[in-house]
Structure 1
Amino acid sequence: MNRPPTHELLALRFGTQTGRLARENFLFADDPCATDTPAGFDFYIWVIRGQNQVIVVDTGFTAHTGARRGREQLHHPVEALAGLGMDPTDVSHLLITHMHWDHAGHLAGFPTARVHLQEPELAFCTSRAMRHPAPRRPFEAEDVNAAIRLLFDERLTLHQGPATIVPGVEVHPAPGHTPGLQVVRVHTKRGWVVLASDSSHLWANIRHRAPFPILDHLASMVEAYETVEDLADGVDHIIPGHDPQVAARFPQVEDDPRWVRLHEEPIAPYTDPAALELRERVIS
């Protein structure tokens, strides 16, 4: 069987949230990671390059939406492509993991890209559930309207399950956080790497089976952990959606250190927040 081609995989930490406590990232108060320790929470987009293709995964949030929701935009997600020598018109495919405000805020910024979304995701964010404040809170009407516009413009592909975008780049459903969340599997020189997005916000969520508190279906979210692990070639081949350690654990792009290279091996070990908490308790 022929192995698929390899791709470069890059991540940009474009935003952050300060003043957040670790316990805000876990559903259950008795989870060993759910402490009152200050915890970083970052926001990323990703770029896949190879075989004369440029693929962007997620589009981040706009500055005004971030400010309204108490998050800081460090870099404009679309404009930051220039640091890689790219223009938005170079992007052939745009993969949206899910339609939450922090992942789908610049859909109009890629005028020539084919956009990919799981059909259950669009169905949910245009369903009767949006009549209620709680389920619609993570969505922005502006972003949903942009997705509908793409559909009418015949630029939106709605998938109903796993799909190969190009050889070596796949999308796979991993619902739980939202009904139609999809993860992205990328073949790199170090093996298959999975952009878990918000199927696991932090490494601690998946490694401790400790779900994030914003979710659509608890059992599905836990099942999604297994899906991600089965798709990845190892624990360090799983890239969570919001972990500050991502930007610290991987080597920077020489021409633009805002970006890190996920197709390379990590340069720093994973720090387990539960282990740190246990050590602090023993010392005290």
Structure 2
Amino acid sequence: MSRPRLAFTNRWMFGRVMLDEPVCRQFIRCVLGIDVDRIDYLNAEQVLEPAVESRGVRMDVYAREGNRVYDIEMQCAPEPLLGRRFRYYQATLDMTTLAPGKDYDELCESFIVFLCTHDPFDLNLPVYTLERRCSEVPDLSIDCNSHWIALNAQAWDTLPDGVLRDLLHYTQNGSIGASSLVQRIDEIVAKANNDRKWVDKSVLLREHHRGERCPSCPHPGTPGSKKGTGGGTGRGSRAGTRRGARRGSCRGRKRGGGSLQFPGRTPFG
């Protein structure tokens, strides 16, 4: 009987890969155009020793660099409520980084990135940048210093050649390409799969949280199709009722250079 192998898109594997600091730095540079010198991981223990009894928000990658915090998530299943997940994760980040009694100007700049294997808004954009703005005066910035980004791996081929295109392509179908970042990611995935104790624990946790985010990840064949079908039907109907409103409120843009740009920052092509 063949042993299960975890792909990059498995949430535990994704977290383990991103614990490689050079990879995480390159990922942030590729996606956000930010050069990071050093990263402090705030959830390394839960990635290396995943536990069923974990409670609250289980962030895939939660890291700090200077006065910035990053939450980077792998999203394998279609999620009709992605906007609310962004909101919930944002609230968690803010409550975690601002101590009681501190002023709001001490809130860290925050970045929440969802790397999605499905198009979250069905507009065929590789990158959706979601910023809070004034409806009456769109150019008015409220300066909340928080940024939400959804990456759509399905639209990898709409990007020009570059690291982001290779990263999304690898996420979608495992194609390695020429990028040194993706090649390094694939090396870490292969090495981690040789850690059978960790893989087996991750597979058991995947079964425990069955259907939560990544139904394509390998797991033992156990009963549960009825529950899965019901959950899928419910999510599908919710998606249909919310899709139109979300299309109107979401603003996405396609990056010609393969990464996002924030003021004063250089993209990594």
TM-score by length of 2: 0.26
More helix by share: 2
| TM-score of the superposed pair, with normalisation by structure 1 | 0.25
Q: Which has the higher contact order (CA 8 A, sep 6+)?
A: 2
